[in-house]
Amino acid sequence: MNPRFGLKKALYSEKLAPYLFVSPFILAFLVFFLYPACSTAIMSFQEVQGLNSSNFIGLDNYKRLFDVHFYNALKTNTIYTILSLMLLIPVPILFAVLLNSKLTKGRTFFKSVIFIPALTSVIVAGVSFRLMFGESDTALINAVLGKLGIPPQNWMLNYGTGMMLMVILGTWRAAGINMVYYLAGLQSIPEELYESAEIDGASGWTKFSSITLPLLKPIVIYTLTIGIFEGYRMFGESYVFWNEGMPGDIGLTIVRYIYQQAFQRNDLGMGSAIGIVLLTIVLAINLIQLKLFGLFKKDGD
């Protein structure tokens, strides 16, 4: 068959053309997703020497994995995720509800300003945070504390304050994004619901707790899911404060640990094993959540 005839036929065919349209994804999926995913799984059972030679060592990487450093990384990610979510759900809801109220003037302006941090890279924003939380007693935050009679802190050298830095930076950048999600959710709530509640004499709080919050539930779940996902893959927030290494394991996160093992110690097998554990954690949490919130039911969307 003439190949040009074949191509021409495909271009006119409603049956064949869709496969051509989706082919970039299929190709990218096979080469840049499926193959690497299998490759990670295999490498996690190997000792990898250089880029092209390796031998199987069974579960050794996984056995080595469960040491104190990994637990520290896991703990840091878990605490980080919980703390950020404690801020990243209520605060954006508050912003969105107030910005959705007709009483508020200058809504577009406030919305834009609150979104601006989301535009900055974690590294660029981190420069500013590193300066503000400098260790000298004249650096901004220490100077303010000094006025209050609190001694200067060495922010990046303590686990607690280090965690605080990461949470503040992460929350500062993500709050505006969540606010946009909640605003979109609020706009889809029909005005009549509030009107009829008002006729029944419902107070502002009753309206919020019995109309707004239940109807925002899908978006709360969405931001919760994204928050957990982002929390367990956090890297930049740690890297910007401790790019050259850290005292103890302050700021050691799971992805940081992968990076350290694979690219600084050249142990790709170990790095892969950590990656597989990370994948398991993220997927497990996602599945539990989907199950808990009944999102497997078709009418959920």
Partner 1 sequence: MSEAVRKKLTTAVIITFFILVCFIVLFPLYYMFMASFKDSRELFRNGMDLRLIPGMMSLDNYKLLFSDKSVYLYWYRNSLLITGLYTVCSLFLSSLVGYGLGAYVFKGKNLIFTFVLFVMMVPLEILMLPLYKLIVNMGIINTYSGVILPFVVSPMAVFFFRQYVSGISKDFMDAGRMDGCTEFGIFFRVMAPLMRPAFGAMGILLAMQNWNSFIWPLIVLRTNTMFTIPIGLSALMTPYGNNYDMLISGAVLAIIPIIVLFLLNQKAFISGLATGGVKG
Distance CA(276)–CA(294), nearest Å, equals 26
Region binding partner 1 by CB under 8 A among candidate stretches 60-68, 159-167, 189-197, 280-288: 280-288
Query: Does residue 201 bind partner 1 (CB under 8 A)?
Result: no
CB of 128 to partner 1, least distance (A): 4
Query: Does residue 202 bind partner 1 (CB under 8 A)?
Result: no
User: Phi, psi (5° rounding) for residue 188?
Assistant: -90, 0
Query: Does residue 293 bind partner 1 (CB under 8 A)?
Result: no
CB of 21 to partner 1, least distance (A): 3
Tell me the angle at which helices 159-187 and 122-132 cross, rounded to the nearest 10 degrees: 130
Q: How many CA atoms lie within 13 A of 265 on its CB side?
A: 14
Choose, by CB under 8 A, the member of 59, 214, 263, 265 that binds partner 1: 263
Positions in 221-240 near partner 1 (CB under 8 A) = 222, 226, 229, 232-233, 235-236, 239-240
* Residue in the block written with tokens 């995720």: 81
Element (H, E) at 54: strand 53-56
User: Which is nearest to 161 in space by CA: 145, 183, 182, 178?
Assistant: 145
Torsion of CA 108, 110, 112, 113, to 10 degrees: 160
Return the number of the residue (197 or 226) whose C-beta is nearest partner 1: 226
Residue 203, Cα to own-chain centre: how many angstroms?
Answer: 36
CB of 82 to partner 1, least distance (A): 18
Return the number of the residue (37 or 211) whose C-beta is nearest partner 1: 37
Residue 200, Cα to own-chain centre: how many angstroms?
Answer: 41
Positions in 77-116 near partner 1 (CB under 8 A) = 95, 98-99, 101, 103-106, 108, 110-116
Choose, by CB under 8 A, the member of 62, 159, 194, 259 that binds partner 1: 259
CA distances for 233 relative to 77, 129, 170, 219, angstroms = 8, 21, 12, 21
DSSP assignment letter at 301: -
Please say whether the beta carbons of 296 and 286 come within 8 A. Answer: no
CB of 51 to partner 1, least distance (A): 6
Positions in 135-194 near partner 1 (CB under 8 A) = 136, 138-140, 142-144, 147, 172, 175-177, 180-181, 183-185
Query: Does residue 298 bind partner 1 (CB under 8 A)?
Result: no
Return the number of the residue (83 or 165) whose C-beta is nearest partner 1: 165
Distance CA(208)–CA(204), nearest Å, equals 6
- Type of residue at 273: A
Return the number of the residue (79 or 281) whose C-beta is nearest partner 1: 281
CB of 266 to partner 1, least distance (A): 11
Please say whether the beta carbons of 50 and 37 come within 8 A. Answer: no
Choose, by CB under 8 A, the member of 40, 100, 161, 289 that binds partner 1: 40
Positions in 119-138 near partner 1 (CB under 8 A) = 119-125, 127-132, 134, 136, 138
